[in-house]
Amino acid sequence: MWKQSRTHLIVSTCLIFGLLFLDQSTKYLALTYLSNGNVIPLIPHFLSLRLLFNPGATLGFGSSETPLVALIEFLACVISLILDTRTKTILWTIAFNFAFAGSLGNLIDRIIYAHSFLNGSVVDFLDYGWSIGNIADIELTVAAVLIIYCIVFSIPLKNKDH
């Protein structure tokens, strides 16, 4: 059991740091190369790169309630970490790690780009035409898909031998 717990900790730590690095480094690149208003088309009529500071959540919901959105992101981080420490199943671990990294990535932005306490914006740069997001949003979407998959296919939080 100790070895599995140690392996779980190593996998979680590496995955979380890797996902956070990916999120924060792409936001840095967006700030560096898109701050002057540049729009870079990647896939015509589907995906381009455009910088936007979003004070709200998905699709701009909660734009006038930025501190509440930040609090929800903080709670999502705490809950994801707690659940991650209680699971021994790799898919649940990956799902909780993606949820934690995505929530923390956007929470970091809200703190760094705050106008006042927890009243900051998230750096978005992936423009889908109908929505604009970032890598943390993709991580949160992956987490949601994995959680739904685990629930639908009755994957337990812990293996039967634990």
If you count DSSP H runs as helices and E runs as strands, how many of each does the chain have, helices first? 4, 4
CA separation for the pair 9, 109 (Å, rounded): 26
∠141-147-153 over CA atoms, to 5°? 135
161 is catalytic: no
Q: Determine which one of 23, 84, 124, 127 is catalytic.
A: 124
Q: How many CB atoms lie within 10 A of CB 159?
A: 11
Look up tokens 């799902």; give the residue.
Answer: 95
Q: Determine which one of 23, 84, 109, 137 is catalytic.
A: 137
137 is catalytic: yes
**Distances in whole angstroms, Cα of residue 29 to Cα of each of 94, 113, 125, 151:** 26, 16, 10, 36
CA separation for the pair 138, 99 (Å, rounded): 10
* Residues involved in catalysis: 124, 137
